[in-house]
Amino acid sequence: MNVVEVENLSFSYGDDINAIDDISFKIEMGAYTTIIGHNGSGKSTVAKLLIGLLEPLKGNIRIEGVPLSLENLDFIRSKVGIVFQNPDNQFIGSTVRDDIAFGLENHLVPQKDMDDIINKFSEKVKMKDFLNSEPSRLSGGQKQRVAIAGILAIAPDIIIFDEATSMLDPQGKDDIKSMIMELHNESKITIISITHDIEEVVKSDKVIVMNNGKIVSEGTPDKVMVDKKLLIDVGLDIPFSMKIVEELRKNKIKINDEVTMEGLVNKLANLI
Amino acid sequence: MSNMTFGKYIPLDSVIHKMDPRSKILAMLILIVAIFFPSGWIGYGVIGLCVFIVVLLSKLNIKIILNAMKPMMMMLIFLLFINTLVIKQGDLLFNIYGYTIYSEAIFQTLYITVRLFLMIMITTTLTATTKPLDLTLGIEDLLSPFKKIGVPSHEIAMLISIALRFIPDLIEETQRIMKAQASRGVDLKEGSFKEKIMAILSLIVPLFISALSRAEDLANAMEARGYSPGKERTRYKTLKMVFKDYVLIASSFVLLIAMIVLSRIYA
Amino acid sequence: MPILFKEVSHIYSEGTPFRYSALTGINLNIKEGKITAIIGATGSGKSTLVQHLNALLLPTSGSVTVFDRVITSDEKPKNLKSLRKDIGLVFQFPEYQLFEETVLKDVEFGPKNFNIENSEEKAKQALKMVDIDASLFERSPLELSGGQKRRVAIAGILAMDPKVIVLDEPTAGLDPSGSKSMMKLFLDLNKKYNKTIIIVTHDMEQVLNYCDEVVVMSEGKIKYESEVKTFFKDSSLCKSLGILPPNVIRLKDELIEKGYKIDDDVMDIKSLVKIISRQVKK
């Protein structure tokens, strides 16, 4: 079943050229999709459109079959959660506890259920010991974990990560990436991650490549991420293992395309 | 940043910390009104003593309150200067080359200082013993009777709580931009008037731009999490008054009445 | 010897309950004409350290020698201005410091503050270095794209013609191609214009590919310092410091485990692949 269906979507920030130019795509339930593209390619605009923060110029968005419209906005936002790039600017409560409660209050969760939900999901993101902490005492990675807990607390079906790791240090990045993987493996939650991280892309089920507001390629990472010309043309990096494969071929070694480091090591281990 | 004590919550375990924010806010308002009555030195002595007892009960370090007074010092010195120029009553204390200082000028300044000190002491005690969120919850509840006449009590409370939440962030941002511009040779202390204007612009413009982009991010985050002004919400925390809260409010009232009586006698 | 730290400690909010010791007993010698990377986890003291370089922060104890100036805790602010011209410090997300009406005026702001002659000429040169086209000079800096804004902000520092350029996470938030061209710019500044460069970064690929020297910080102390080549020679060193080595080094390690024979000093793709190719069964 497709939980996200986007048809002929266009959007423009002013009279300028279209930030999103007639794109269509579908996302299956439970899939882990990454969206890549250089800065200004329209990735974040797509995320904002999906959650109804921007109104499309043309086209349709359906979430679980329900068209995104003003009347359905509350329903859509109970099904789709988003983690933004800047950890500081999405922490609304004055403590971790209050921040998780904020979403619950908005979605009319009864007061008597709140403590249990807050405890459960702060535990899930390993922030239970920090429930009474203020945001200024937390690291960027910890704040993003609280953001994830706040979303999980309203039991959504889809979570969008809008460059959620790009402002974090390596430790924070690893934390959030492994949390995304865990959510993907253990639950039916559909994940859409906008990212520049090639290592993350190759672990996803499907990748969508954007350039100048259009989708220029989409498919499984082992098909898309081996297209060196395309990636370079749209200003992206090619996976490290593909750089090695390229170089090996220059040295007349026959080897198949490979997008992960583990895969490459295994292939080379068989060659010796 | 750490010497900014005014308005900061200081987490301690005390009876005052545990009280209902509504009773604390009401007590604060009543006491501030009380201070406005010219009840003489005896009256201020009584209020001062009561507030001092509350501060002791709240386990706050008195230094914190004195620190909160610091930003007012310049203002008070200026006031003293103006008073010495304007007020020419009472005994002549000094005459330095025709610049005369009368006792009434000193007395009036002292009077205002004491009032101001008491007010700061009361508000600092309130903010230091009450979490920002509880404070806003209290304000919301106290304002809710006025909802019927169109006062958006919830929105006002949300506004205050967000402002409080972002004050530390904005202070940090200001320091960062100041340092960045100092690295480009900005010197707020020296330089001509024109250079100083530029220096201030180089701070204000980036701060304004960053605050705007922060506000946009925040609005997006709140909306994405299902918030919409005016929409019905449930509440995580509800407030409950107990006996000691009523005692606090009642004692404040007693103080207020005492001050009114004293001011009559004094007059 | 342009920059020398001697027993430098820095304590924030001394004498208050918020007292925090950010640097302890730092001894460091930053070499002239090199690109030095400063790495370490968040809160390890990197930012505090670099702010000592142009005396935005003064050491609580110890001294920092920058060229001929010795900075100690009792330094008078008056003497610092010329130091700030010599050490160009670029903060994280420098695009947030733009404020002038036009790109050119903004870049001129620094040189004018330091009373540098021909500030307009200097500004134009700096903008050329960072690859900003002359057609953008009269535009408002706020209209530019994120990457362009950052370049303009960096030009604002370059126009002061500093001898040393210090950059705090200069590629944070940029896309891969933006990061790459930014790093190439710093390499150029180092090689063509002979600037000493100090970069605070989390990216080990950048350390390996662009830097000469590396300083590892942890909990306010220097845990390790050496040439980059020495640092990555033995990946167990990286791991013991809690750092994930760059891809090439990780691949090398994995292959050695699988039976390949690869020398310690192989640390670029071309030489690594050459060695693999020789050992692969054709």
With a CB cutoff of 8 Å and minimum separation 6, the contacts of A105 are: B233, B234, B235, B236
- Tell me if C260 and A140 make a contact (CB, 8 A cut-off): no
Find which of A166, A169, A254 to mutate to test the C interface (most C CBs within 10 Å of its CB): A169
- Tell me if B180 and C114 make a contact (CB, 8 A cut-off): no
Count of CB atoms within 10 A of residue B9's CB? Answer: 18
- Tell me if B161 and A150 make a contact (CB, 8 A cut-off): no
Nearest-angstrom CA–CA distance, C80 and A169: 32
Whether the pLDDT of residue B116 is over 60: the answer is: yes
User: Helix C269-279 and helix C247-257: axis angle, to 10°?
Assistant: 20
Q: What is the CATH number of domain A2-220?
A: 3.40.50.300
- Tell me if A90 and B168 make a contact (CB, 8 A cut-off): no
Q: Does A88 touch chain B (CB under 8 A)?
A: yes
For A103, which residue in chain B has the nearest alpha carbon?
B225
Whether the pLDDT of residue B2 is over 70: the answer is: no
Banded model confidence at residue B244, pLDDT cuts 50, 70, 90: very high
Helices and strands (DSSP H and E) totals, chain B: 9, 2
Q: CA of A134: how far to CAs of A116, C17, C209, in Å?
A: 20, 17, 39
Q: Are A148 and A91 in contact (CB under 8 A)?
A: no
* Contact list, A136 vs chain B (CB under 8 Å): 168-169
- Tell me if A169 and C255 make a contact (CB, 8 A cut-off): no
- Supply B190's token pair: 């020296």
Query: Nearest Cα to C167, choosing from C181, C153, C177?
Result: C153
- Tell me if C157 and B183 make a contact (CB, 8 A cut-off): yes
- Tell me if A102 and B225 make a contact (CB, 8 A cut-off): yes
What does the pLDDT average to over B216-243? 92
Chain A neighbours, 3+ Cβ pairs < 8 A: B, C
At residue B166, the pLDDT reads 86
What does the pLDDT average to over A209-217? 96
The parts of chain C modelled with pLDDT lower than 50 are none
- Strands C196-200 and C164-168, sheet pairing: parallel
Selecting from C177, C251, C281 the residue whose C-beta is nearest the C-beta of A271 gives: C281
Q: Give me the helices (H) in chain A, please.
A: 43-50, 73-79, 96-106, 111-124, 140-152, 170-186, 198-201, 221-224, 228-233, 240-250, 261-271
Count of CB atoms within 10 A of residue A155's CB? Answer: 14
Q: Does B226 touch chain A (CB under 8 A)?
A: yes
| A237-258 per-position pLDDT tens digit | 899 999 999 999 999 999 999 9
Q: Does C22 touch chain B (CB under 8 A)?
A: no
Q: Are C169 and C201 in contact (CB under 8 A)?
A: yes
For C96, which residue in chain B has the nearest alpha carbon?
B206
Query: Domain limits of chain A?
Result: 2-220
At residue A152, the pLDDT reads 97
At residue C77, the pLDDT reads 67
**How far B77 CA lies from chain C's nearest CA (Å)?**
27
State whether the Cα torsion C272-C278-C281-C282 is positive or negative. Answer: positive
Whether the pLDDT of residue B1 is over 60: the answer is: no
- Supply B126's token pair: 């309130």
At residue B108, the pLDDT reads 85
- Supply B220's token pair: 């997006």
Nearest-angstrom CA–CA distance, B122 and B3: 19
For C160, which residue in chain B has the nearest alpha carbon?
B184
At residue B5, the pLDDT reads 53
The whole-model pTM stands at: 0.88
Q: CA of C55: how far to CAs of A23, B60, C51, C66, in Å?
A: 52, 36, 6, 10
* Contact list, B182 vs chain C (CB under 8 Å): 56, 84
At residue C1, the pLDDT reads 63
Query: Nearest Cα to C105, choosing from C181, C150, C159, C146?
Result: C159
Nearest-angstrom CA–CA distance, B202 and C99: 6
Tell me what ipTM this predicted complex has: 0.91
Banded model confidence at residue B187, pLDDT cuts 50, 70, 90: confident
At residue C65, the pLDDT reads 94
Q: Does A167 touch chain C (CB under 8 A)?
A: yes
Instruction: Tell me how long chain B is.
Output: 267
Chain-centre distance for alpha carbon A247? 32
With a CB cutoff of 8 Å and minimum separation 6, the contacts of A120 are: none
Nearest-angstrom CA–CA distance, A100 and A104: 7
Find which of C54, C56, C97 to mutate to test the B interface (most B CBs within 10 Å of its CB): C97
For C86, which residue in chain B has the nearest alpha carbon?
B183
| A23-62 per-position pLDDT tens digit | 999 999 999 999 999 988 999 999 999 999 999 999 999 9
- Tell me if C41 and A251 make a contact (CB, 8 A cut-off): no
Banded model confidence at residue B6, pLDDT cuts 50, 70, 90: low
Selecting from A82, A92, A110 the residue whose C-beta is nearest the C-beta of B234 gives: A110
For C141, which residue in chain B has the nearest alpha carbon?
B206
DSSP for residue A237:
P
Q: Are A220 and A205 in contact (CB under 8 A)?
A: yes
Q: Does B192 touch chain A (CB under 8 A)?
A: no
Q: Does C256 touch chain A (CB under 8 A)?
A: no
| B19-60 per-position pLDDT tens digit | 999 999 999 999 999 998 888 888 899 999 999 999 999 998
For C19, which residue in chain B has the nearest alpha carbon?
B2
| A88-128 per-position pLDDT tens digit | 999 999 899 999 999 999 999 999 999 999 999 999 999 99
Interface of B with A in 100-159 (CB under 8 A): 131-133
**How far B58 CA lies from chain C's nearest CA (Å)?**
18
Q: Does A166 touch chain B (CB under 8 A)?
A: no
**How far B234 CA lies from chain C's nearest CA (Å)?**
37
- Tell me if A53 and B226 make a contact (CB, 8 A cut-off): no
Chain B neighbours, 3+ Cβ pairs < 8 A: A, C
Report which secondary-structure segment, H or E, holds A36: strand A32-36
At residue B91, the pLDDT reads 82
What does the pLDDT average to over B8-18? 87
Nearest-angstrom CA–CA distance, A211 and B57: 64
Selecting from B131, B222, B232 the residue whose C-beta is nearest the C-beta of A108 gives: B232
Reduce the DSSP state of residue A7 to 3 states and report it: strand
* Contact list, C273 vs chain A (CB under 8 Å): 244, 247-248, 250-251
With a CB cutoff of 8 Å and minimum separation 6, the contacts of A257 are: A222, A226, A242, A245
* Contact list, C272 vs chain A (CB under 8 Å): 244
| A184-212 per-position pLDDT tens digit | 999 999 999 999 999 999 999 999 999 99
Whether the pLDDT of residue A265 is over 80: the answer is: yes
Banded model confidence at residue B229, pLDDT cuts 50, 70, 90: confident
**How far A270 CA lies from chain B's nearest CA (Å)?**
50
**How far A115 CA lies from chain B's nearest CA (Å)?**
8
